[in-house]
A and B are shown apart, each in its own frame.
Chain A
Amino acid sequence: MSGLDTKTIAGVLGFEADMGAAAARLAERANREGLVDVAYATLDTPLGTALVANTSRGLVRVMLPNDSVDEIVERIARELSPRVLELPARLDLERRELDEYFSGRRREFDLEIDWSLTKPGFYREVLRTAERKLPYGATASYGEVAAWAGSPRAYRAAGSALGHNPIPIVVPCHRVLRAGGELGNYGGGPAMKEFLLRLEGAVE
């Protein structure tokens, strides 16, 4: 009777092969069947690895470089839907436009935006306003953005809204400065804000 040891049996049966291709095909099929509530992909930028995510409604999240992909994906699962898969093919347009932006070949994004991760009401209005009214290369103060959004004195709330922007770069919170011209805060850090403003020629 074979004394074939379990370690050998496990070694043969459990032989680990690459799952990468199978996983990619799975994501594509899941998407075709309408099961992927949120798709995401990473992209290389001059600042490091960024991440973009979309729903069927549009771009819902941009992660700035040096944040953690795993953490962002966990938060997406909590805040939007756990049906979230890595699926670069569905983020083709977003990745291409951001690429073009970083290489100076694009000034305006024509992307559908899903505002679900923004707080409804004034906060959302501030972000929508910034996206609509603050063009490439221009800047505005928190007070001005607050005024555009309908509450001229709510510059602190505007600052808070911009500080919680889930779609940086495309929703240009980096173009909003303190009244005196100081850069002000930025989720990705002041160096990143300065980089983007320089890229756009908004500052020397």
Chain B
Amino acid sequence: MTRPPFQRFLDEHGRPVLAFLRAMVGHHDAEDCFQETFIAALRAYDRMDGRHPRAWVMTIARRKAIDHHRARARRPEPHDELPEVPAAEPAGGLGDLDGEIWSAVAELSEAQRAAVALRFAADLAYREIAAALDCSEDAARRRVSDALRELRRNIDREEALR
């Protein structure tokens, strides 16, 4: 299979991957993970899944996000945040609601966060989400819907604290 030029691969998938990573590890650390992801993708480019290239690179991105959290958990410096919770940052425009959504995302489990991030940050179709999560399309829909329910609960809790 002829692979497209990597520059084109980067142009096509870079932004959704960056959005996905922001949801997974927060704005501050997303770029580091972005570099790690695409360096790994470039190394493994020969083995790319040609049917689902975006799901393929999202899978790499997710692994890098997990690695990132593990590395943070191991670091001896004191920090206030739990390893599972990425720094929340408002994306702009909606003020408080923005911050609530990011915080609520941060509170999800890794698996639920991944489902939400793939669907709402990276805007993947369910067929691709299924490929990224290695499950059926039906299962992908269920996971997203379950995660969304949990996200809404978290948002309500955030709102109640105001």
Which A residues are closer than 8 A to B by beta carbons?
Answer: 1-4, 6, 8-17, 19, 22-23, 25-26, 29-30, 33, 35, 40, 70, 73-74, 76-78, 82-86
Question: CB-defined interface of B11-38 with A at 8 Å, one 1/0 digit per residue?
Answer: 1001100110011000000010011001
Chain B interface residue count, CB cutoff 8 Å, equals: 46
**Are B153 and A1 closer than 8 Å at their CB atoms?**
yes
Which chain A residues lie closer than 8 Å to B159 at the CB level?
A: 2
Q: Count A/B pairs, Cβ under 8 Å.
A: 115
User: How many whole Å from A51's CB to the nearest CB in chain B?
Assistant: 12
Question: Known contacts A9-B120, A13-B116, A17-B18; is A2 also within 8 Å of B155 by CB?
Answer: yes
A-B contact pairs, 20 of them (CB 8 A): A4-B155, A6-B120, A12-B101, A13-B19, A13-B101, A13-B105, A13-B117, A13-B121, A14-B19, A15-B91, A17-B18, A26-B35, A29-B35, A30-B39, A70-B8, A82-B2, A82-B6, A84-B5, A84-B6, A85-B10
**Are B7 and A10 closer than 8 Å at their CB atoms?**
no
User: How many whole Å from B3's CB to the nearest CB in chain A?
Assistant: 4
**Are B14 and A23 closer than 8 Å at their CB atoms?**
yes
B43 in contact (CB, < 8 A): yes
Partner of A14, one of B3, B35, B121, B155: B121
Stretch at the interface among B63-71, B74-82, B92-100: B92-100
Which B residues are closer than 8 A to A by beta carbons?
Answer: 2-8, 10-11, 14-15, 18-19, 22-23, 31, 34-35, 38-39, 42-43, 45, 91-94, 97-98, 101-102, 105, 116-117, 119-123, 148, 151-153, 155-156, 159
